[in-house]
Every structure is written in structure tokens, then in C-alpha cells.
Amino acid sequence: MASSQNLGPIQTVTVNGVNYGPRTVVTLGSSPATLTNGCSVPIVVLTSVGTVTGIDCSRDYGVTFDASGFLGGVVLLNPNDQVKLSFAVAPTVIFWPI
């Protein structure tokens, strides 16, 4: 069964046009897990370790997901963008505002 969760909102401070906020660990549900940027600012989602089989991104509220070609690394999500992680063993996922 697929899982879905909202990342944020979180408290941020903007200094000279740069958003600062907490590093947040994400606990994933079942695969595939769809994560939505619920913050009012862009965020970076970092995926590492685990056994990831696909990272897909959507800019249209999940209507269309495009394969990234990555199995880990950094994905930039603007507000309301989504990333879908497919995995056999759950990866470590963290996010923070930028």
C-alpha cells in the first residue's frame, strides 16, 4: 500500500534572501512513499542508503510523475511539488529549507 505525507510547515528565518530552518528527518511509510513540500519556501530533500528503486518528481500535484534517473541524492522541491520514492529497504530521508 502506498504512503503519502506532507513535509512541513516548518519555522524559517530569511536573512539576505536565504531561508534558514531546521534539518528534519522523515520517517517513511510503505513504498512507494509520496512526499509533498507543505512549506511556503523551497526545500531540499536528501535521500541516502536503503535500497531505492526509483525517485520520481511531480510539479502538477501528482498528476504526472517524471523519473529522475537517480537512486539517491538531492532533490529540490518548490512549494506543493512532490517526490515519490520507491524502495525495497527504506532509505534515510531528511529535508531542510533553502
Report CA-CA distances (Å) from 30 to 4, 5, 7, 53: 9, 11, 16, 13
Domain that holds residue 60: 3-97
Give tens-digit pLDDT for 28-83: 999 999 999 999 999 999 999 999 999 999 999 999 999 999 999 999 999 999 99
Give tens-digit pLDDT for 42-56: 999 999 999 999 999
Model confidence, pTM? 0.94
Q: What is the number of structural domains in the chain?
A: 1
CATH number at residue 36: 2.60.120
